[in-house]
Amino acid sequence: MIVGFDGEKVILKKGDKEVSCDILFTFDCEDTMKSYIGYSNNEIASNDRKNIYISSYSPLSGDFKLHDISDQKEFDMILKVLENLSKDSEQEVNS
Amino acid sequence: MSDDYKPILEGVLKQEDLNGREPLEIVKEELLKNGYPVSDINNYDVIFSGVDDQDTRYEVHMKDDTNDLELKDNLKEIEDLRNSIEYSNKSDQEKLLDLAFQKIDKLEKEIKDKTNINDYLLTEIKSVDTALDKVKSVIQEYVKKFNELEDEMKKIVASQKEAFENLEHLSEEDINKLKNDFRDKKKERNKSSVSVLKMINLEKGKIKSLQRKKNHLKNDLLKAEALGLNVDEYLNINKTLRSRKLMNSILENKGLKDIISKKSEERSAEEKNLLKDAKEEILLEVTNLYKKNNDSSIEKIIDALYNVDTSLKKENESRKLPLSVNDIKEVRNKKKALVERVVGNKKKTNYKPSKAPLDMKDVSIASFANNANKEYREKLLSDAAKKKNSVSVDKKSDQLNIPSFANNEYLRKHSNDKLVVSKKSLNNSLDKPIKNKTNLDATVDLNDVLNLLPKDVISDNKNENTNTVSVSSIAKKLTKGLVIYDKDVEHYTASNVWASREFTEELEKNDYSYNLITMVKETAKVSGKILKKLGNNLLTSNRCREAMSEVKNRFNSLDDFEKDALLNSYLDGSLSNNLPFSIDVLLNSSIVNYSLEKMDKEVSYCYQDLVPCIGQIQACEQILTHEKLSENEKNAFLREYQVLNNRASSSISMIFENRKKAYKIFDKEKDNSLVKKYTTVGYYYDKDKNCDDQVSLDRYSRTLDKKIENNDSQGIVDYFFLVEALYSKEFYKPNEKYEYLCGVLGLKNNEDVNQGLSVMTVSEAICRDINVHSLRSAKLQNLLDDNNVTMKDLDLSKWKYNNLINHDNNKFVNPFMEDVNTTMNYEFLQLQAGKEDTNKFLTDMDNIVEQSNKKTIDVFKNSMNLLNEYSKTDSKYPISDVEEILVDLSSSDLIDDLVKNYPNPSKWNKYLKEKAEGFQAIPTEILLAVFNSRITDSYTNIVSSYMKNELDKSNDIKK
């Protein structure tokens, strides 16, 4: 089931400034019981690459907060999702 | 004498070595050094010959004669004797000794198991004596024989001399052989003699050791019988008491500090007897109590009887930790500083009060603790009544006048009289007494007191948790019948992937490369709506949703032991090994919540007990420092002081145990925002906050840990203050009362109100300063000296000198100050509880101001009457200067300046300097009385005016 997030924003707070980020993609993972979200303010970093921020969210905790990702296996999963997105340019991908 | 005649000793004496002594004397010394007996120097021939003018050569030869055969026989006999003792399997005396040792060991075991000794055991001990006597006689025989052999050896060596006088018929080779034979024999002889002697001494040592052991046993046996104990019990008590530190501590409590501080050899016979009697008395006291409470440990009994730190019996290394003078000063200063910081005097602290969390409310510790203790006391008394053979607690402790919780100055002055606790904790606490704490005020059955040491209870719980509950069995219980996928060890699988149109187009065009940032340093926010959508996606699987919900319910229905087991497993990182990964993730938040609630409850209990206890400790310190106490009273207070310290330290230990656990949880669960802000009893356990003095805090915390580990009560309390003082800079939430008041009154800035309300503390501090710096009237003292009357006499006589009648102004003023203080606190509480509106509150405040103003005028008048009376008897008394000062103190704004700008009131300091001489002529009591009344006046006035103004402003805004 696909749910769209077009038009929704994630707000990043950098110092005193608030930066609005577009939501690029989302997916779930039953293994970790978490959802993941990728977002970007379209900023180009000094290495000429675009920054994509990725955070996780635990619906079980009910705190509605985004968390960092520190688990290598989670990171690997994100890479696979992006690879598949690049390959197929499809909206729904199973990795 | 033949040239070949070999001397047994030879050498050269230098002139400078003689140093005025006889050459023969030095030769005797040399003989002795080489193992020759010198009791009779006539047994030797000593020949001196000059080398030159300065030096003298000497030779020593033996005189006695005997033959070679005898020599050989005797040497053999010595050899045999040595072998029999040193090398044979067991000589007779050794066998006897072994038997005696075995017998003593056996007896020792038998005696320990018997409640009463009997004739049989005493007979057995006597038989050991007999065995010992036999061994001794055998040894004596050997000694005798050895001495005889020694005498014979002298003769043998003498014969050597003779042999060397008839060497003409022998070849040079034979002569050399003979010489070597004699030398070897002599060497051997010396060696044998020494060995035999050593062995005999060793055997004698064994006998002595056996004798000592036997005597101790006999002694213990007889003493145990006299005390009505079995030997094991007696030895247990004695062993505990035998620790020098512990015994000294008890003896100090008994007022024998002066004697025990002396070295043993410096003590007089009388003092030694006194010590001996005291030790016997202690033994008897402990024994008597032990007989009535023989299920308690000796340490607990000693603690109950003498209130000493029984851990002293161990060599407590922490007490040897170097603590610099500065550290100690810092401890004391922090103790004072904490109070001021908590009160919120902005001049002394950088603290800023913040709002209490929504789920918290104010609780009066005074009523709280009293309620809890009342119930607790009733429980103790009731339980005590049920018990037979109960023992009353030492009456001395009942008679101590340590302020109780209700009227404790500490509670009144410190914001700690209000703690913020969660409603849940409060409800739990009010329902039941504070458990496992001793109550000082109750006369209780000592059995109960002894059995109520919290540490035992804690450790029991821990054992129970870990021993009886298996995490894997709980895991089965949680997941039985549910379809839950095990952790995928290879990789995680994504589902429900969605990507924005713009992003997929961008990917198609392949215009960019990307940096993936998974550790977002910046704070990221997203609307809850999106996350709810995400969560819905995730939980679209009915199977998953139901399973998760069921697991959660099952967790809630686990009992505390099972939850504790999961918690411990979670903390040591083994939980994920025992549970499917997804269950692990789900349970984390439940476990953390459970843990924090539990800690909140425990910490609440501890603080409820600790706060009044610290107040009592400080009261005790004050009493011990300032009051005139008899030796008995002092000792009683010291004992009570130790008990309070023990009690406080046990609460502190538990608080820190919980605090550490909380930090551990934060470390593990830093991604879980549920635990990011854990609040309990006035403290934020928030890892994100930094302390100004983090380094000091770490250092003090580590030291506190060690103190807790070593059960050093005094150290725990001291370092608790240091740590808490540092915590308070960032974390401490002070009394919420003032904030609440500000809220009620619509005040935006509450700092001034805090300032005003803390004036009472300030005024008391000023009075203390005056006492400390002693502005006693030196001039008056001089006048008194002229009449051979001291200020002390005068104070004691209540100023009845020369018809000078003391109005006892302090007695007149102090109760008034107390009344004002109590009334103001009462008014605040009424207002806070909504039982009084602000208009009524301010009207009451006006009354207080009026009363305090009137009181100041009365005190001034009384004081002046008193001093005028006195000045009539003393023409030199500077009554006009004194009057001027008292007028200034009573009516000018000097005291207002002092109160507002304390501790650096410039105007006041200047005035004090100018009028120093006049001040010295004012009797202390009068000065304090005027001060107290005027400060009270100023204090009430400031608070009242300020609140009135702010209320007016608030009303204006509303209009």
Averaged over B91-108, what is the pLDDT? 63
B540 interface with A at CB cutoff 8 Å? yes
pLDDT tens-digit readout, B330-355: 544 544 443 333 333 333 323 232 23
* Residue B76 to residues B83, B178, B184, B808, Cα–Cα distance (Å): 10, 18, 14, 102
The torsion angle over the Cα atoms of residues B927, B929, B933 and B935, rounded to 10 degrees, is 40
Q: Using one digit for the tens of pLDDT, what is the confidence trace for B784-793?
A: 444 444 444 4
Helix axes B581-626, B542-556, angle to 10 degrees: 30
Q: Which residues of A touch B518 (CB under 8 A)?
A: 53-55, 68-70, 75, 78
Q: How many angstroms separate the CA of residue B520 from the nearest CA in chain A?
A: 6
Model confidence pLDDT, tens digit, residues B715-752 = 887 777 667 655 544 433 333 323 322 332 232 233 43
Q: Count other Cβ atoms within 10 Å, centred on residue B766.
A: 21
Segment B411-423 mean pLDDT: 30
Q: Where are the domains of chain B?
A: 9-62, 68-227, 231-315, 353-464+593-688, 740-958
Pick from B166-170, B172-176, B228-232, B365-369: least confident: B365-369
Does the CB of B677 have a partner CB in chain A at under 8 Å? no
Which residue, B335, B413, B414, B403, is CA-closest to B370? B403
Each residue's pLDDT tens digit, B653-702: 887 777 777 666 665 544 333 222 222 222 222 333 333 345 566 667 77
Give pLDDT tens digits for A40-86: 888 877 767 778 888 887 766 656 677 777 777 787 788 778 877 77
Asked if the model's pLDDT at residue B613 lies above 60, the reply is yes
CB B11 within 8 A of CB B59: no
- To the nearest whole Å, the CA of A63 is away from the closest chain B CA by 7
d(CA B450, CA B297): 9
What's the pLDDT at B486? 47
Residue A95 pLDDT > 70: no
The stretch B562-573 carries a mean pLDDT of 79
Q: What is the pLDDT of residue B553?
A: 81
Position B589 scores a pLDDT of 67
Q: Which of B675, B481, B465 is nearest to B572 (CA)?
A: B465
With CB atoms and an 8 Å threshold, state whether A51 touches B517.
yes
pLDDT tier at B921 (50, 70, 90 boundaries)?
low
Neighbour-count burial for A65-89, b at 16+ CB within 10 Å, e otherwise: bbbbbeeeebeebbebbbebbeeeb
pLDDT band at B154 (very low <50, low <70, confident <90, very high): confident
Q: How confident is the model at residue B422 (pLDDT cuts 50, 70, 90)?
A: very low
Instruction: Give this complex's ipTM.
Output: 0.88
Residue B120 pLDDT class (50, 70, 90 cuts): low
At B702 the pLDDT is 77
Is residue A72 less than 8 Å (CB to CB) from chain B? no
Beta bridge partners of A57: A35
Do residues B514 and A49 make contact, with C-beta atoms less than 8 angstroms apart? yes
Query: Alpha carbon of B519 to those of A53, A59, A67: distances in Å?
Result: 8, 19, 8
CA distance B927 to B766: 12
Q: pLDDT tier at B140 (50, 70, 90 boundaries)? A: confident
Question: A-chain residues within 8 Å CB-CB of B500?
Answer: 5-6, 22-25
| Closest to B418 measured CA to CA, from B757, B909, B691 | B757
pLDDT averaged over chain B?
60
Report the pLDDT averaged over residues A86-91. 57
Contact present, B85 and B78 (Cβ < 8 Å): no
Q: Is B485 on the interface with A (CB under 8 A)?
A: yes
* Of B800 and B920, more confident: B920
On whether the CB atoms of residues B308 and B251 are closer than 8 A, the answer is no
Parallel/antiparallel/unpaired status of strands B683-685 and B678-680:
antiparallel
Residue B796: what pLDDT?
Answer: 41
Distance from CA of B599 to the nearest CA of A (A): 20
Question: Which string of DSSP letters, residue by residue, matches B888-951?
Answer: HHHHSSHHHHHHHHTT--HHHHHHHHHTHHHHHTS-HHHHHHHHHHHHHHHHHHHHHHHHHHHH
Q: Which of B498, B507, B548 sits opposite A5 (nearest CB)?
A: B498
Which DSSP category does A18 fall into? E
CB B447 within 8 A of CB B385: no
Q: What percent of chain B has pLDDT over 90?
A: 0
Q: How many CB atoms lie within 10 A of CB B504?
A: 18
* Helices and strands, counts by H and E, chain B: 40, 10
Q: Which amino acid is at B626?
A: H
- Under 8 Å CB-to-CB from B727, ≥6 apart: which residues? B683, B691, B697
Per-residue pLDDT at B401: 47
Indicate the range of B5-14, B114-123, B312-321 predicted with least confidence. B312-321
The string of pLDDT tens digits covering residues A13-46 is: 666 677 788 888 888 887 777 888 888 888 877 7
Radius of gyration of chain B (CA): 44
Looking at residue A91, its pLDDT comes to 43
pLDDT number for residue B198: 64
Greatest mean pLDDT range, B415-419, B440-444, B653-657, B747-751: B653-657
Beta bridge pairs of residue B515: A51
The pTM of this model reads: 0.30
Interface mutation target, options A21, A27, A78, chain B, most CBs of B under 10 Å: A27
Closest CA to B621 of B718, B495, B719: B718
- On the 0-12 / 13-18 / 19+ scale of CB atoms within 10 A, B746 is middle
Is the pLDDT score of B320 beyond 50? no
SS3 category, B155:
helix
pLDDT tens-place string over residues B617-640: 777 777 777 667 788 878 888 888
Spatial CB neighbours of B768, under 8 Å, sequence gap ≥ 6: none
Element (H, E) at B748: none
Q: Does B500 touch chain A (CB under 8 A)?
A: yes
The letter for the amino acid at B619 is A
Mean pLDDT value of segment B941-948? 69
pLDDT computed for residue B885 by the predictor: 84
Query: By three-state DSSP, how is residue B319 classified?
Result: helix
Query: pLDDT value at position B80?
Result: 55
Question: Domain ranges in chain A?
Answer: 9-88
Place of tokens 């991604």: B671
**Banded model confidence at residue B766, pLDDT cuts 50, 70, 90:** very low
Output the pLDDT for position B335.
43
Residue B881 reports pLDDT greater than 80: yes
Q: How far apart are CA B371 and CA B609, in angstroms?
A: 12
- Phi and psi at A52, nearest 5°, equal -120, 120
B615 versus A74: which is more confidently predicted?
Answer: A74
pLDDT at residue number B750? 37
Pick from A42, A65, A79 the residue to mutate for testing the B interface (most B CBs within 10 Å): A65
What is the distance between the alpha carbons of residues B40 and B667, in angstroms, rounded to a whole number? 87
Mean pLDDT score of chain A, rounded to an integer? 72
Q: Which two tokens stand for residue B428?
A: 């739990």
How sure is the predictor about B250, in pLDDT bands with cuts at 50, 70 and 90? confident
Q: What contacts B508, CB < 8 A, 6 or more positions away?
A: A89
pLDDT attached to residue B315: 39
First CA to last CA across chain A, in angstroms? 15
Our CA angle for B468, B469, B471, nearest 5°, is 150
Highest mean pLDDT among B151-155, B400-404, B862-866: B862-866
Amino acid B28: pLDDT: 79
Q: Is B859's pLDDT higher than 60?
A: yes
Chain A residues 32-51 within an 8 A CB cutoff of chain B: 32-37, 39, 45, 47-51
Is B12 touching A (CB cutoff 8 A)?
no
Instruction: Please give the biggest Cα pair distance in chain A.
Output: 39
